[in-house]
Amino acid sequence: MLFNYGLATLNFAIVIVGGTYLILTKQVSMATGLGLIVMFIEYSYTYFQPLTQLSSLYNLIELAITGAKRLAKVEQEKEEKRGSDGKQLSTLNQGLVLEDVHFGYDKDKEILHGINITVPKGKSVAIVGPTGSGKMRL
């Protein structure tokens, strides 16, 4: 894409310098020279526009292919194993109470420190925080 813009700019400069030379050396009249310069600039714009559009289209296709590869990579990842040591809730009479919850991915580095949460029956609670802060473990 940059190459096309460079060629278009070079062509633009050549047309202006060439047209100015023709006018200054009186090979063509001022009006004719200016008309020729404008005409050739428009011709060159018309010539380079499809090339610029093709290179833009190529960039879009390249971005789409990259996105598809990333999506395929995510889809091929194995599903995370869920722990089987959790307790199954069969009935919920009054709500959910978590008291003094501690958790850490490493034994030396605790992430949750004595968390207490009370969720009344029929209510919802949103847990927000940065990645790795233990939201899923609650």
pLDDT tens across 47-81, in order?
878 878 888 898 899 999 999 999 999 899 888 77
Query: Which CA distances in Å does 47 have to 3, 14, 28?
Result: 14, 15, 25
Q: Quick check: 122 and 100 in contact, CB under 8 A?
A: no
**How high is the pLDDT of residue 2?**
57
What pTM was computed for the model? 0.40
Phi, psi of 97 (to 5 degrees): -125, 125
Q: How far apart are CA 47 and CA 54, in angstroms?
A: 12
pLDDT tens across 75-109, in order?
998 887 776 777 776 777 788 888 988 888 777 88
